[in-house]
Chain A
Amino acid sequence: MSVTRREFLKLTAASAAASAIGSELMVGSAVMGSPAIDWHKSVCRFCGTGCGVMLGTRNGKAVAVKGDRKSTVNRGLLCVKGFYLHKIVHAKNRLLQPLVRKNGTLQPASWDEAMSLVAEKFSAIIKEHGPDAVAFYGSGQGTTEETYIANKLFKGHLSTNNFEGNPRLCMASAVGGYLTSFGADEPVGTYDDIEHAELFLLIGSNTAEAHPVLFDRLVARKKNHPSTKIITIDPRKTPTNKIVDLHLQVIPGYDLAVMHAIARILIKEGYTDEKFISESVTFSDGKKKISYEGYKRFLEKFTPEYAAEKAGIDPQDIVKAARMFGEAKTAMSMWTMGVNQRTRGVWLNNLMHNIHLLTGKLGKPGCDSFSLTGQPNACGGVREGGGLCHLLPGHRKVAVKQHREEIAAIWNVPASNIKPKPGKHTMAMFSAIAAGEIKAAYIMCTNPAHSLPNLNKYLQGLKDCFLVVADSFHPTETTKLADVVLPAAFWGEKEGVYGCTERRSQHMAQAIQPQGQARWDGEILMDLARRLGHGKNFEHFKTPEDVWTEYITTTKGRDMDLTGAPYSRLRKVRGLRWPVPDEKHPGTWHRFTEEDPLFPKEKAKGRRMYFYNKPDGRAVVFARPDKGPEEPVDAEYPLVLSTGRVLEHWHTMTMTGSVKQLVRAVPQPYVEINPEDAKELGFADKDTAIVETRRGELKLMVRVIDRPRKGTIFIPWHWPEKLANLLTTDAIDPGSKEPEYKICAARIRKA
C-alpha cells in the first residue's frame, strides 16, 4: 500500500489514539513497572530549577529516568532535557581515558602519566612565576563537594585567589543585586510563593524554555486560579507568551527606565506600603543615603512617556503593568539572563527589588523578587561554597581578615596562606591567560572556549597556556585546546549535593560506577593535591560525605546555615532550604521574617522584616541612573543582537547534542529575524545570511519569525559549529564583572 506523505502523517496522528483501545496495561509497562530496575534519588543535571529525578539502573547501566514525585520542586514532572538524562550517561561522546597532547595531538595516556605531567607543570610554573601564574576555572554544574576541594587546594594551599567559575557569566549580577539591596545573597522566598501569587512579572526570562518545569507551575497556577495575571518585559516574543496577559516588548537595554516609571506610578497612585517603607527600607543613590522625598524627586523624570519613548513601547502599557502590580494582593517577579547579562545588570536587579520593597510585596506568601538560576549548582557550589575570586565558603569574603582566619582554621592552614586580595574575575582571568600572565589553568566541568563572549580574543591564549580540562565529554571546544584532558565521572556515577535557585540543597546518589577510567572530580583534585605536596589536609576525605561534613561546618552561624543538613538527613528528604541550623529544623520559606531562625526579634522590635545583614536592618531602594547598553546600534551596525536558549538544548550542547530526539527537535542553528526587517532587507525564510558585529561574523540559516522585536535579531548559542560568541561583546558590568551577552550591535547581509 502506498500512502502519500500527508496521508502517512495523518495515520501517524491517528495512532496515538489507537492506544486508547486499552490493549495495554499501564502497570507492567516495559520499563517503569519493571521490578528489575533499581531507582536512585537524584537531581536533574541541567537547569537551576532543581527538579528531583529518579535514575533507574539495571546491571550497572542507566536505563531510565522519571520525575521524583516526592520532590516538591517538580512533583514528578520533567522537561524534555531531564527526560533523556540516562541516555547521556552512556553517550558516545563520553571521555573514558586520560588524554595528553603529544606532537600536537591528544593521545591516550595513563592516569599516572597525565597527573604527573599536570603536577610537574603546575609546580614548575608556581616556582618560577609565583602562585598567581596559575588559575582554576570551575562550574555551577560541579557538585558542592568538588568546588569545595578545589577552593581548599587553590586558595588555601597554593595561595592563589585566581579561582573563578562560570556563574560569573550568569549569576554575578543577581548576587550583586541581592547583596546591595538586601545585604545577603539569594532570594527571600522560595518556589512555594508561586502557588500564592496573583501576579507574575517576568523580565528577561523565557521561562517556558529556560526553566520549563517552573513554567509548568505557572501554567498550573493560572489554570487553577484563572484570575492570575502574568506580565512579561522582554524584547522577544517567546513560547512563554502562551500564558502572558501583557507583554512590554522593549528595545534591548532600555528597561531600566521602564522599571523606574513603574515605581513612580506605584508611589503616585498610592500602591505603596508606607508602614513597611518607614520600618524596613532606606534609600540610596548608589553613593550615599538619600531621603524618600529625594527618591521621589529622582523618579519625577521617569514619566510613562519618557520610559516608553526610550524603550519603544506604548506608555499606556507601562501604566497598565504598574497598576496590575499595585492592585494584585500578592506579586512575584522572576528574571534570568536578560537582566543579569548586562553591563548594568546589578542596577537592574536593584530596580526589581525596588518595586517589591516599595509595595511591601516581599517576605510573605506569594510575594518575592526572585532571580532564577541557570545552572543546577551555581547557588549551592559557587555562590554559597565561595567559588569565586573574592569569596570563601559560607558567604565569606577573602578581603575580611576574620573570614580568612575562620576558614584557614577549618582548612588547617596558616591564615596567611589565604591572600586578602581578590584574584582575577573570569574575564580578567581569560585576558591574563591571553596575555600570557597566567601560564597554567585547570578547567573543571565547563566549556569556556564556547561560552566566553568575544571568543576571538581569548582562544589563542587558551591554546598557548598549559591547559588542563577535566570533563566527562570529549571533544568540546575547550578540550580540543587542552594539553591534558582528564575523564571525569558523570552525573549518576558519583555522589554529591546540588543547591538550586530556591536555596534548596539536594543530595544525589551514586547509582553506577564511573565508566571507563573516569574518576570523580574530587578524587582527581585530591590526587593533584598529593602530587603537589598538600595531601595531608585532604586525607580525611574518603567519600563525598566527608567533604560535605567539613563544608557544612563553614556554614555554622552564617546566613546560609546548613548545619542541620548532614548527608544522613539529605539522603532521606527531598532537599532542605537554608537556613536550616539544626536537624529538627524544617528549613526556611521566608528569610528576614519571623519564619527565619536567624531573625533577631529584639532588634526587629515588631517590624515584619529585618534585613539582619544590613547594619540598620533595612533594605535599600536604589535611585540608579537609566544607563543604556554598552554598544548601542548605529548606522554601521543598525540591529541589536541578542543570544539565548532553546528548550531542547542546554548551554554548549555537550550533553543534549548526543540525544537524537533533542537534536531532532531543533536540528540546526539559525538567526531569528522579524518579518518586517526581513522584508526590508530582502530575506526569505531559510536563506543564508552573514551576521556581523565589530568582533566577528557568522554564516547562519535565516528564520523569519515574529519573535524578535523589529530591529533586533536573535541567535541561540548552543551549536559548536556556529559559535554565537564570536559575535558577542565582552563589555562587563563594573559591579558584577558579568559580560553583556544579551546586547550588541550587529548587521546582517545575504551570504
Chain B
Amino acid sequence: MNRKNLFALIMFPLLFLLLIAYACSSTTTTRKVANQSPVTPAAVSEDEKHLDVDFTISCLECHTEETPEVVADWSAGTHGKVNVGCFVCHGDGEDEYYASPGTDACLSCHDSLATEVAEAQTDETCFTCHDGHKLKFHAEQHGGFGASHPGWLRPDSHIKSTHSPQYTGD
C-alpha cells in the first residue's frame, strides 16, 4: 500500500466522524431552504454565520482564491457547467446562509426524482448518493456501485428522463 492510500485509509474515517459530529451539531438548521421563503422562519444561527468578508465581490471570485478545490469540483460537475452558482444552495451569505443546505433547492429543478424517491419509499436524500459539489455518486468516487443501489439511481438516469424529445405539446 502506498503512502497516499494509507493516508486515505486513515483520513476517510476521520473525516466521516467529523462530518457526523458536524451534522448532529446542526440538526436544528438542516431544514433551512435556500430558495424558498421559509414556511417556518429560520434565522441564521450564530454558528452558521458566513465570515464577514468583502461582500462587494462575488461568491465565486472569492472562493476561487480561497477554496479552489471546491470550485474545481463544482466547475467539473454539471452544476458548474450550467452555472448554478454557490448562492443557490448556500444563500447570499449575508441575509441567508446555509452551511449545510437542505434538499429543497435541489427539488426546485429535480422534482421528478423526488417523486421517484418517494415512490421507492426510502429515507435517502439527494446527498445520500450525491456529493454536493461534484454531484458524482459517492459510491462512484469510493470504488463503484454497491448492489444495494436501486435501479432508479443509475448514474445517467436523470439525463435520460430529463430531456427526451416530445413534440405533441404535452
CA of A11 to CA of B26 in the docked complex: distance in angstroms?
13
A36 touches B39 (CB 8 A): yes
Give the 3 A-B CB pairs with smallest separation, nearest first: A16-B132, A19-B127, A661-B87
A83 touches B167 (CB 8 A): no
Most chain B CB neighbours (cut-off 10 Å) among A14, A36, A239? A14
Complex contacts, B40 vs chain A, CB 8 Å: 30
Most chain B CB neighbours (cut-off 10 Å) among A23, A25, A242? A23
Complex contacts, A15 vs chain B, CB 8 Å: 22, 26, 99-100
| Contact flags A193-227 to B (C-beta < 8 A → 1, else 0) | 01110000000000011001001110111011000
B35 touches A18 (CB 8 A): no
Choice from A62, A589, A664 contacting B58 with Cβ under 8 Å: A664
Q: Given that A21-B20, A30-B33, A667-B56 are known contacts, is A76 also in contact with B112, CB under 8 Å in the complex? A: yes
Q: Given that A15-B99, A660-B96 are known contacts, is A26 also in contact with B166, CB under 8 Å in the complex? A: no
Is A586 among interface residues, defined by CB-CB distance under 8 A? yes
B156 smallest CB distance to A (angstroms)? 8
Q: How many A-B residue pairs have CB under 8 A?
A: 268
B166 touches A192 (CB 8 A): yes
A24 touches B103 (CB 8 A): yes
CB proximity to A under 8 Å, residues B85-125: 85, 87-96, 99-104, 107-112, 114, 117-118, 123-125
Is A657 among interface residues, defined by CB-CB distance under 8 A? no
B109 touches A26 (CB 8 A): no
Complex contacts, A30 vs chain B, CB 8 Å: 31-33, 36, 38-40, 102, 104
CB proximity to B under 8 Å, residues A489-541: 504
Complex contacts, B94 vs chain A, CB 8 Å: 660, 664
Q: Which residue of B lies closest to A78 (CB)?
A: B109
Complex contacts, B83 vs chain A, CB 8 Å: 79-80, 208-209, 212, 239, 647
Complex contacts, A84 vs chain B, CB 8 Å: 35
Q: Given that A19-B23, A80-B88 are known contacts, is A66 also in contact with B127, CB under 8 Å in the complex? A: no
B17 smallest CB distance to A (angstroms)? 11
B38 smallest CB distance to A (angstroms)? 7
Complex contacts, B169 vs chain A, CB 8 Å: 72, 504, 573-577, 580, 586-587
Complex contacts, A90 vs chain B, CB 8 Å: 37
Q: Can you offer 23 A-B residue contacts whose CB atoms are under 8 A?
A: A5-B51, A9-B67, A15-B26, A16-B100, A21-B19, A22-B123, A22-B127, A23-B27, A31-B38, A32-B108, A72-B167, A76-B110, A77-B109, A80-B88, A83-B35, A208-B83, A577-B169, A648-B85, A661-B91, A664-B55, A664-B92, A668-B56, A668-B57
A66 touches B107 (CB 8 A): yes
Q: Which residue of B lies closest to A191 (CB)?
A: B165
Complex contacts, A5 vs chain B, CB 8 Å: 51, 53, 66
CA of A457 to CA of B170 in the docked complex: distance in angstroms?
48
Q: Given that A219-B81, A239-B83, A661-B87 are known contacts, is A32 also in contact with B111, CB under 8 Å in the complex? A: yes
Q: Given that A19-B101, A19-B127, A574-B170 are known contacts, is A32 also in contact with B114, CB under 8 Å in the complex? A: yes
B117 touches A26 (CB 8 A): yes
| Contact flags A67-92 to B (C-beta < 8 A → 1, else 0) | 10110100111111001101100100
A530 smallest CB distance to B (angstroms)? 37
| Contact flags A28-68 to B (C-beta < 8 A → 1, else 0) | 01111110100000000000000000000010011111110
Is B9 among interface residues, defined by CB-CB distance under 8 A? no
Interface size on B (CB < 8 Å)?
89
Most chain A CB neighbours (cut-off 10 Å) among B40, B93, B108, B118? B108
Complex contacts, A65 vs chain B, CB 8 Å: 35, 108
A721 smallest CB distance to B (angstroms)? 13
CB proximity to A under 8 Å, residues B19-78: 19-20, 22-24, 26-27, 30-40, 50-51, 53, 55-60, 63, 66-67, 69-70, 78
A26 touches B36 (CB 8 A): no
B36 touches A23 (CB 8 A): no
Is A127 among interface residues, defined by CB-CB distance under 8 A? no
B57 touches A667 (CB 8 A): yes
CA of A224 to CA of B37 in the docked complex: distance in angstroms?
36
Most chain B CB neighbours (cut-off 10 Å) among A29, A78, A580, A587? A29
Is A124 among interface residues, defined by CB-CB distance under 8 A? no
Is A542 among interface residues, defined by CB-CB distance under 8 A? no
Is B168 among interface residues, defined by CB-CB distance under 8 A? yes
Q: A17-B127, A66-B107 are in contact. List 11 more A-B contacts (CB 8 A).
A: A9-B70, A19-B23, A69-B112, A72-B166, A72-B169, A212-B82, A223-B159, A575-B169, A587-B169, A648-B85, A664-B55
| Contact flags A103-136 to B (C-beta < 8 A → 1, else 0) | 0000000000000000000000000000000000
Q: Given that A23-B27, A239-B83 are known contacts, is A16 also in contact with B101, CB under 8 Å in the complex? A: yes
CA of A194 to CA of B55 in the docked complex: distance in angstroms?
39
Complex contacts, A239 vs chain B, CB 8 Å: 83
B108 touches A664 (CB 8 A): no
Is A6 among interface residues, defined by CB-CB distance under 8 A? yes
Q: Which residue of A lies closest to B117 (CB)?
A: A26
CA of A72 to CA of B33 in the docked complex: distance in angstroms?
27
Q: Given that A220-B163, A648-B85, A665-B60 are known contacts, is A26 also in contact with B31, CB under 8 Å in the complex? A: no
Q: Given that A31-B36, A192-B165 are known contacts, is A66 also in contact with B109, CB under 8 Å in the complex? A: yes
A664 smallest CB distance to B (angstroms)? 4
CA of A9 to CA of B126 in the docked complex: distance in angstroms?
23
Complex contacts, B59 vs chain A, CB 8 Å: 664-665
CB proximity to B under 8 Å, residues A634-661: 647-648, 660-661
Q: Given that A17-B131, A26-B124, A217-B163 are known contacts, is A80 also in contact with B84, CB under 8 Å in the complex? A: yes
B116 smallest CB distance to A (angstroms)? 10
B122 smallest CB distance to A (angstroms)? 8
B63 smallest CB distance to A (angstroms)? 7
Is A190 among interface residues, defined by CB-CB distance under 8 A? yes
Is B2 among interface residues, defined by CB-CB distance under 8 A? no
Is A663 among interface residues, defined by CB-CB distance under 8 A? yes
B23 touches A219 (CB 8 A): no
B55 touches A667 (CB 8 A): yes
Complex contacts, B168 vs chain A, CB 8 Å: 586-587
CA of A66 to CA of B50 in the docked complex: distance in angstroms?
27
CA of A179 to CA of B5 in the docked complex: distance in angstroms?
65
Complex contacts, A661 vs chain B, CB 8 Å: 34-35, 87-88, 91-92, 96
CB proximity to A under 8 Å, residues B114-167: 114, 117-118, 123-128, 130-133, 138, 156, 159-167
CA of A504 to CA of B169 in the docked complex: distance in angstroms?
8
Complex contacts, A577 vs chain B, CB 8 Å: 167, 169
Is A267 among interface residues, defined by CB-CB distance under 8 A? no
CB proximity to B under 8 Å, residues A177-192: 190, 192
Choice from B23, B96, B170 contacting A70 with Cβ under 8 Å: B170
CA of A275 to CA of B138 in the docked complex: distance in angstroms?
54
Complex contacts, A26 vs chain B, CB 8 Å: 103, 107, 114, 117-118, 124-126
CA of A368 to CA of B23 in the docked complex: distance in angstroms?
51
B83 smallest CB distance to A (angstroms)? 5
CA of A67 to CA of B18 in the docked complex: distance in angstroms?
35
Is A572 among interface residues, defined by CB-CB distance under 8 A? yes
B102 touches A24 (CB 8 A): yes
Q: Given that A19-B23, A64-B36, A78-B109 are known contacts, is A216 also in contact with B167, CB under 8 Å in the complex? A: no
A19 touches B30 (CB 8 A): yes
Q: Which residue of A lies closest to B131 (CB)?
A: A17
A31 touches B104 (CB 8 A): yes
Complex contacts, A13 vs chain B, CB 8 Å: 67, 69-70, 133
B104 touches A208 (CB 8 A): no
B39 touches A663 (CB 8 A): no
B82 touches A215 (CB 8 A): yes
Most chain B CB neighbours (cut-off 10 Å) among A216, A242, A574? A216
